[in-house]
Structures are given as structure tokens and as C-alpha cells.
Structure 1
Amino acid sequence: MLITHEVACGRLSLGPPVAVIDIGSNSVRLVVYEAISRSPTPMFNEKALCGLGRNVATTGRLDFDAVEKALAALKRFRALCDVLRVEQVHVLATAAARDAANGQEFIERAREICRTDIELLSGKREAKLAALGVIAGTYRPSGVVGDLGGGSLEFADIHGHKVGTGVTLPLGGLALQDVSAKSLKKAERIVRDALAGITQLEALPGRTFYAVGGTWRSLAKLHMSQRGYPLHVMHGYTLPVREALEFCRLVQRVDASTLSKIEVVSDARRALLAYGALVLEHIIRVGKPAEVTVSALGVREGLLFSLLPEAEQHRDPLLVAAGDLNALRSRSPRHGYELAEWSDRFMASTGIDESAEETRLRRAACLLADIGWRAHPDYRGEQSLNIIAHAAFVGLDHTARAFMALAVYFRHAGLSEDALSPALRELASPGMLDHARILGATMRVGYLVSAAMPGILPRAPLEVVQGKLVLRLEGDLADLAGERLMGRLRTLAKLIGREPVIAAG
């Protein structure tokens, strides 16, 4: 077989891959990202649950077996970085190595293995990086970030790109299990006392609590599975506070092994679920947030975000990610941007009320409209829907995912909902579903005009003029007019209550 490309065509030319190794109190994880960018994509992700923080709170030392297990994991991770030709390896160590008397000795051994410096994070530094991770993955966030690890819990207030002063508390799952001698009643008293008077929680009422960390992600995954939730995407999963409180109490009350769908949580995580639920319950009671939202991005992504130029940090992560996928999968990446601008002009002429957020999502959907073109025609809609609904996008919630997925589905499959998953459809409000249908119908007109090629749509404006929906095909574009195109224009015109006209020649 002739190999014609040294570099995979399915990767972006954004620079060399970069790795972050996170030496946490419970897990040691390697994530290799395609490059440092506003929307970094993981190329490789592996963790080892080493339990470095187990018994540190009572003995003051890292356990010998846990240390050996962690060092063995680091040897493999360093070798993987070499295999992946990683040029930058960032290694972070958190609470366990920070708090243990033999932590520095462990860091020295780890440094030799990793062949690079290791940043031993202070509590405040860890809180800031976790906050930056949430900012990196959330569009215009406002609330309080809580990062629950094995050894500690960090809080930081965020508003837009501003991060308040961070604080760290010894309330990690392993630490609580240790100091409470595995007594939830004793752990509850410790948590209640520790959370009293925390400034960050005083600023939380009515805002969003962003939950970061493996134990809370496991809780959310369990909750998601028990609900039969249609999207298996952790980032952006949101729980109303009443529902979150009820679920936290349930997890504390019963043996984890008896919980429905508990198989979705790894055995090593199950013992810490009750402690994570206990901490989250008291945060909700003290802070009174409006909702709890899970962030899959934390310290590692916060570090990468901090390395970006300020102008790059302020780019919209969703539009960046959609543009990247457009570049990788569309017949013409430029056409996606032209489609977005073409639909801008159309929507402005209709008088349809479109919020700034809906405009943003429409533009992102236009960039994704052609990513399924290589699939069989009968499955382009279904494949596009699945890619968009489950892609590693950030900067959007699950309702927004559903809107974009449905719009591109309608663009390929027509406007019928008969073959759609009812559960996915229900994630979008009736208004967003109607908006998705209009956008899908608009795309169907646009692609019959342009055949997905650039330079055509800017010359074929679609506008509402004097109460009529007019598509102009002038000069050499006049012969593009036909009954099939008129049929699609008629469908769109019906959705917006206008009379269709093709002005050709």
C-alpha cells in the first residue's frame, strides 16, 4: 500500500502536540492534545488510579505502594509522550505531594522519570487553573468553580474571564474518608465546619456552581444514566438544585453497589461517591446556587488556556471548534463561512426575533452543515446529528447541542421529525426546534444553489423583500433555477409565511 502522507490529513496544522501530566491525589493522568489552541482536542488520554492521597491526612506521608504505582504510571506516560513526538510536556502535582512530608522526595523521583520540571501547585494556583479551565470551556460563565480532588477542594469565583481569589480546603474524597475513619456522620461535621464562612460561597446565591473533578463527574454520569438521558456528554450537563440535592442524599443513604446503573462508575471511584455527594449537598445548602453544571475541563485545560495570547483567549471556543471540524470534513471550508454570512442576511430580512445566542449557534451550525457529505445519502442526516450531538465541543450547553444537531439533520434529511429520537428532540424548546427547522430549510436552499462550492452564495442573495421571499440568480447563475430549487424555496417560504420568488436572469 502506497503511503502518500507523513502527517494525517485528519489533523490540523496548529503546531506540535502538547502533553499535560496531572499527578493528583487519587489519579495520575496523561492527556496529549493536538496542539495548544483555543479549542484543544485530546489525541490520547489515559489515567491510573494510584491513590497517592490515601492516608496522607492521618499519617502525613505518601503510601509506599501508591508511590510505586504512580511512578510506574509516569514511566509509561513519558514513553507515550516520546511515541507521540510530544515536544512540550507539562507536569503538575497537587494536594497529596503538596501536603505529604515525603512529597518532595516523590517529586524528585518523578522529575527524573518525566525528564522535565514538575510544578507543585499551591492551593490558590490550583484553584485559579481550575477556574481558567471552566472559563476555557464555558461561554460567558458566571458563578463559582469547585474542583474536588482526592486530597482537597478548591473554590474560585469567576465572571467572564475574571477570576477571583481562590481558596483550598482539605475536603477531597480520600482526605475525608481518612480523617473521618470512613464515618459519613463524622465527615458531615467536618464538611459543615469547613464550609462555614467561605467567601466564595457567599457570592454563589442564584448563580451557577461549576463542578470539576472525577468524583463529581462520576456522580453526574450515574445521575445521567439513571435518567436515561439522551446525550452521553458530560461537559455542560446541568442539574437543577432540587434534583441535585435529592440525588446527593440518595447516594449517601444507600450502599453504592445497590444503586441503579452503578456499573457506569468504575469500582475504584464508587467508594468516594458518598463523600463527593456529601460535599456537594453542603455546598448547595450553604451557597444556594441556581443550578449545578458539570465541567469536563479543569486544571489541565486551564494551564493550556493560560499559555494562549490574550486575543486568542477571547475567541469563541464553539466557533473555533466548529471551524476546525469544518476544515477537516467539509467539501469547502470557505463555503461554511459564506453560508453563515448568507444566512445572516436572510435572517435580518425576515424580522424573525433572533437572540445573540441563537445567532451564534446558527453560525456554528452553518460551519458544520457539510461535515457528513462522505456518508451514504440516506444516512448523512443521522451521521451529522450524531457527530454534532456527541462532539468534544465546549462553550455550549446541551440544548444548544440539540439545536445545532437538529438543524443540520433537517438540512440533509428534510423537515420531517418521524425518524428523530424523541428524547433528543425534547432537549430543544419548541422555539428552538422551530428555529432549527427554519435554519435547516434555509441550508437546503443554499446547498442546491451552491453545490457546496465557494464563491456562489455571495452572488445569490436570499432576502425577504416587500413581503416576498426572493432568491436572486443573476448573470451566469440564472440557469441554476429549476423546479427542485423552487420546491425547497417554497418550503422555506411557508415556514416564515412569505410568497417565494426566484428572480433569475
Structure 2
Amino acid sequence: MVDIGSNSVRLVIYEVTGSAALPYFNEKVLAGLGRGLPETGKLSPDGVKDALAALRRYRAILAGLGVDEVIAVATAAVREAEDGADFARLAASELGAKLHILSGADEGRLSAFGVQVGFDQADGIVGDLGGSSLEFHAISPHGEAPPGETHPLGPFSLSFDEKVKPADRRKAIRKVLKSSGLLTRGARRLYAVGGSWRAIASVHMDITAYPLGILHGYRMNGQAVRHVVREILSTQRDKEMAAKISSIVGRRYDTIVHAALVLDEVFDMGGFKEVVISANGLRDGVLFDQHSPSLFGRTEVPAGDPLIDGVVAYLRLDHAQYQFGEALLDFVHPILPKGTGRERIYRAACLAADCGGRYHPDHRPDMAYYLLLRAPIPCLSHEDRVLLAHATGLRYTHKFQRPKDFTRFGRESDEQVARVLGAAMRLGAAYSGRSATMLKQASLKATKSKLILEVDAGCEDMVSATVEKRLGQLATFMDLDAQVSIAETIDH
């Protein structure tokens, strides 16, 4: 995927498994194609030079890796510039692939769909801030949404120089936003897309010492938004703060004040309760476009659950591992809390139950924990990440304690859920030797006073001392007495 935006030109090579796409290679050049566009009506000459050089490099990388499916898109700057069509022809020639210049409506729709495939039951307004434009699109788990909007609010879209006061820039932003119909819908959540808004979240993570350095799914309430905006605006007079924030966001520093002001005004005018940062956006929407895949030369788009497909892809599960994970889910499910909305997390944990198997036994719990905590798997909230990782650490030892920095995440009940899920997976693996066939010969059942492991007749030898020990540990977590039961053979 090659994405030519108003500020950046990016190449991402994906490994696609079902409905999950995991980045294999990711590189961007901040060419600044849209810089000066409002004044000249044309693309930046320096930006054109840098963009074409990047595309030549990308073509060489694609050839070297043998990638033969390339989708290239261009957005607002190329779409609106007088010389945009000329640049597009040059860009396609240098890249050696067809370049699709997206309309504002397609750009907003695809970005919104990209957000939807990156979150479970996404509901709110997507705001995608690029170099030249800001797109709004409503998303809902219930179906169709009203048409999106495009506003000229990217940092390169307004004729400002660096000396313009933030207050004057804020007024200009507010004036443009007054024409928005979507901001008056009363949505609770703003899904923020775009490198500049991710940079703002990086600043907030740093100043609050947030322990989980993952931008996707990072949340900021109104107080947090106001706090980080104040800190960013203070760079206008505080050289020490300017140096600190510059070190955090790198080349995004040139546009971060504008991005902060836009976020502040959008948040206020939309009456939002929280901002959720999305690493997903346009590129993900293009990959899994369900409405017009033929636009990009495809006839169908794979369906599935991005979370489960992401676990399978990231851990490279083979057929036997997948079958064991599914059997393990059937084994543990009867004793897990129902109606919590965490069933997909249970399934993901069972599929990932052997993720630490190749590490040294002394380090398996910690290695498995951090492997899943920071895995590039979609549709995981930060709270769900911690629960998934915690249960997996406990799958390798009942003594596992998650790091103190992460104890504030999730619900109060998650500690108990993780302990029961982890210990149950540990029991299932011990009983079956990690064989789906063997595990299907056993089941778990909890009564008011007992935790019962029932095994098929003829399988008594599978109940070793280790299995009884694991059953006892699980029963202790559940405050129950452990019992092994042999199923009676039914005479037909």
C-alpha cells in the first residue's frame, strides 16, 4: 500500500490473513506536498522532488521483496492542486503502479471503515486530519451512516505563517467548523485519525507517564484534551517545553500546534466525552473496502473477525495449534463468567495459550505476557490487552503477578477472571499434552461447592499427579473443592 498524502508519502507492506493485516514493512517520508498549496494552487516543488524520490525507493523495495500486489492512493493535495494530475502521472510512472486519486467522499468513507475494522463495535465520529483536509464520518455497529464531510482544516490548507497567533488561528478553525452538520449529532466518542493527532497522544502519554506505549485505542477525556493542548500551546513561549515536545514528535512538531487547536475546537464543538486514537485509517479501509473493492482491482474482500485472525497471523498458528486453541476454549468456557462481553478475549487467549512454549521455562510467563501486551493485533482495547496478557502469564505459572504499572487497567473483576482463565488453560494443556483430540475427552463443571474434571471412560490414565495439582490450583482460585469424575460408559 502506497499512500500519498498532503504531508507524508508512506509505504506499508502487509501480511494479510483473513480480515487481519499485520504490517511487515512501514516507512514514510514527510515530503510536504501540500505545503504552500493555498497560496500557489500548486504542489510544493521540494515536496514533489522528495515524493518522487521516495516512490523510486519504494519501487525498488517492492521489487526486491517480490511484492506483486500494489495499491497506491493519493488524497487531498494531489486532488486539489492545479498540477495534481501531472504529478499523479509522474508518480505512477516512478512507482510502476496505477495511482488512484481519491475523492473527498471516498477518502472519508474509507478512513472511517478502516477505523471500524480496528475496533470492536466502534460507535461515534471519525475525524481524519491530514495535511490539507479534515474528514468527518459517522460510524456505528448498526449499519449505514450519513454522508461524510470534508473541511479545509489541515495545517497546509489555511494561509497562515508561523507568526500568526494561536488565538487568530483558533478563530479561523472555528469559523470553518461551524458549517459541519456531523458535529451536532451528539456523539460520545471522537475517533482521531492522522499522524498529527497521534503525535498529540504521544505527548500526553509522555507527560502522564502512561505505561502502555501503544497509540491505537489510547483514550483522552475532556480534562486530558485540555491538559495536553495547554502543554503544546506553551511551546510558543517555553523553550524547554518546546524542546521536550520536539523530541517526542520529531518532524511533526511543525504542525502540532495547529493540530492541537483543531482537536480542541472539534472536541468542544462536538460535545464529545472522549477521544480515542486510531492507528487504523485510510490504508486499512482500502485493504478491506466492502463497498467498492473493484475500485482497487479486487472482486471480493475476506470476511472474519480481525481479532481472531490477527492472533492467528501474529503467532503463525498451524492447523494443530488452532484446533487445540478451539478445543481449549470449549474446555474452559463452562467455568468462565458469562455475559461480560469478553468472550472474544477468552477465545483469543486460548488460541494464544502456547505462545510462550518456545521460550526457556524460567522466562515463559514474562515473555508470553509482554508478547501479547504489545502485539499488533486489532480490536483490542488497552484494558483487554492487559487481561489477555495477564491470563497468558498465569497459563504458565499460577504464581504470576502482572507488573504494578498495569494494575490500574480494567475492571475490578479482571484479576479473578485472569486467574481462573489462566489456570484453566494450564490444566487443559497439562491434561491433554496440548492435543485437541485428547482434550475433547475431558470437561470442566462447577457446582456450588466443587470443581469437577470429568474424563471419558478409559481415559483414567490421563489424570496424572500433575493434572491433579493443576486442578487443585484452579479450584483454589475459585474457592471450590477439586474432584475428578470418570464418565460412565453408556451401553447402546
TM-score, structure 2 as length reference = 0.92
Identity of matched residues, % = 34
Partner residue of 1:413?
397
Q: Are residues 1:332 and 2:321 paired? A: yes
Equivalence map 1:96-245=2 (5 Å)? 96-160=77-141, 162-176=144-158, 178=160, 182-205=164-187, 207-245=188-226
Q: Residue 9 of structure 1 aligns with which residue?
A: none
Matched pairs, number? 477
**For residue 61 of structure 2, what is the aligned residue in structure 1?**
80
CA distance in 1, matches of 2:443, 2:203: 49
Contact persistence 2:22–2:314 (CA under 8 A): no
Superposed, 1:259-274 pairs within 5 Å as 259=241, 261-262=244-245, 264-274=247-257
Q: Secondary structure at the match of 2:413?
A: helix
The partner residue of 1:378 within 334, 346, 362 is: 362
Q: Which residue of 2 aligns with 1:498?
A: 480
1:78: how far off? 1.3
Task: Give the partner amino acid of 1:468.
Answer: K
**Secondary structure of 1:392's match?**
coil
Contact 1:330 1:371 in 2 (8 A): no
User: CA offsets, 1:93-134, max 9 Å, x none?
Assistant: 111111211111111111111222211111111111110110
Can you list the C-alpha shifts for 1:249-292, whole angstroms capped at 9, x where unaligned?
A: 22123248633852553432112111111000001110111210
* Cα shift at 1:394: 1.0
Letter in 1 for 2:196: T
- Mean CA deviation greater in 292-301 or 485-494: 485-494
C-alpha displacement at 1:181, in angstroms? 5.9
The whole-number CA distance in structure 2 between the counterparts of 1:180 and 1:202 is 31
The answer on 1:92 being equivalent to 2:73 is yes
Does 1:288 pair with 2:271?
yes
Tell me how far apart the structure 2 counterparts of residues 468 and 261 of structure 1 sit (CA, whole Å).
57
Match of 2:407 in 1: 425
Amino acid at match of 1:364: A
Q: Which amino acid aligns with 1:471?
A: L
| 1:434 match | 416
Superposed CA deviations along residues 73-95 of structure 1, whole A, max 9, x for unmatched, are 01111111111212221111111
Cα distance change on mapping 1:23 and 1:149 into 2, 3 Å: same
> What is the one-letter code of the residue matched to 1:502?
V
Q: Tell me by how many angstroms 1:450 deviates.
A: 1.1
58-67 vs 208-217, which deviates more?
58-67
Instruction: Give the Cα–Cα distance (whole angstroms) in 2 for the partners of residues 249 and 63 of structure 1.
Output: 31
Give the residue type in structure 1 aligned to 2:34: G
Q: Distance in 2 between matches of 1:141 and 1:68?
A: 39
> Which residue of the other structure, out of 228, 235, 254, is the alignment partner of 1:254?
235
Residues in 1 aligned to 2:74 and 2:161: alpha-carbon distance in whole angstroms: 22
Bigger shift: residues 252-261 or 28-37: 252-261
Q: Does 1:448 align with 2:437?
A: no
User: 1:277 corresponds to which residue?
Assistant: 260
Counterpart CA distance in 2 for 1:70 and 1:438 is 53
Equivalent-residue separation in structure 2 for 1:470 and 1:172 (angstroms): 61
- How far apart, in 2, do the equivalents of 1:370 and 1:182 lie? 57
User: Residue 318 of structure 1 aligns with which residue?
Assistant: 307
Q: Which amino acid aligns with 2:254?
A: A
Shift of 1:176: 3.8
After TM superposition, give the deviation of residue 65 of structure 1 in Å.
Answer: 1.4
Offset of residue 495 of structure 1? 2.1
Deviations along 1:129-160, one digit per CA (max 9) or x if unpaired, are 11011011011110000000111100000102
Aligned partners of 1:338 and 1:458 also within 8 Å: yes
Q: Is the alpha carbon distance of 1:382 and 1:70 closer, same or farther for their aligned partners in structure 2, counting shifts above 3 Å?
A: same
Partner of 2:331: 342
Separation in 2 of the partners of 1:309 and 1:394? Answer: 24
Deviation at 1:441, TM superposition (A): 1.3
User: What's 1:461 paired with?
Assistant: 443
Which sections of structure 2, spanning at least 5 residues, go unmatched? 488-492
Contact 1:58 1:179 in 2 (8 A): no
1:471 lines up with 2:453 in the alignment: yes
Q: Can you give the 5+ residue segments of structure 1 that lack an aligned partner in the other structure?
A: 1-19
Residue 273 of structure 2 aligns to which amino acid in structure 1? A
Asked if 2 retains the 8 angstrom alpha-carbon contact of 1:152 and 1:172, the reply is: yes
Whichever residue aligns with residue 25 of structure 2, its letter is F
| Residue 59, structure 1, aligned to residue 40, structure 2 | yes
Q: In the aligned structure 1, how far is the partner of 2:129 from the partner of 2:117?
A: 18
Q: What residue identity is the alignment partner of 2:245?
A: I
SS in 1 for 2:12: strand
Give the C-alpha shift of residue 212 in structure 1: 0.2
Q: TM-score normalised to the size of structure 1?
A: 0.89
CA drift at 1:36? 6.6
- Aligned counterparts of 1:190 and 1:263: Cα–Cα separation in 2: 25
Q: Which moved more, 1:442-451 or 1:241-250?
A: 241-250
- Match of 1:334, SS state, is helix
CA RMSD of aligned residues (A): 2.1
* Separation (CA, whole Å) in 2 of partners of 1:310 and 1:222: 40
Residues 226 and 261 of structure 1 are in contact (CA less than 8 Å); yes or no, is this contact kept in structure 2?
A: no
